[in-house]
Amino acid sequence: MAFDTKLMEILACPVCKGKLDYNKEQQALICNFDKLAYAIDNDIPVLLESEARNLTLDNNENSTQES
User: pTM of the predicted model, to two decimals?
Assistant: 0.79
63 in any annotated domain: no
65 in any annotated domain: no
Task: Identify the CA nearest to 44 among candidates 65, 59, 29.
Answer: 29
Residues present in the chain in total: 67
**For residue 37, what is the domain's CATH number?**
2.20.25.10
Task: Identify the CA nearest to 47 among candidates 35, 67, 25, 30.
Answer: 30
The DSSP call for residue 52 is P
CA distances from 44 to 1, 38, 60, 65 (A): 11, 10, 23, 20
User: What does each of the 67 residues of the chain score in pLDDT, given as a tens digit?
Assistant: 677 888 899 999 999 999 999 999 999 999 999 999 999 999 899 999 999 999 986 545 444 444 4
- Give the structural domain span for 12: 5-57
Rounded distance, CA 26 to CA 42, Å? 13
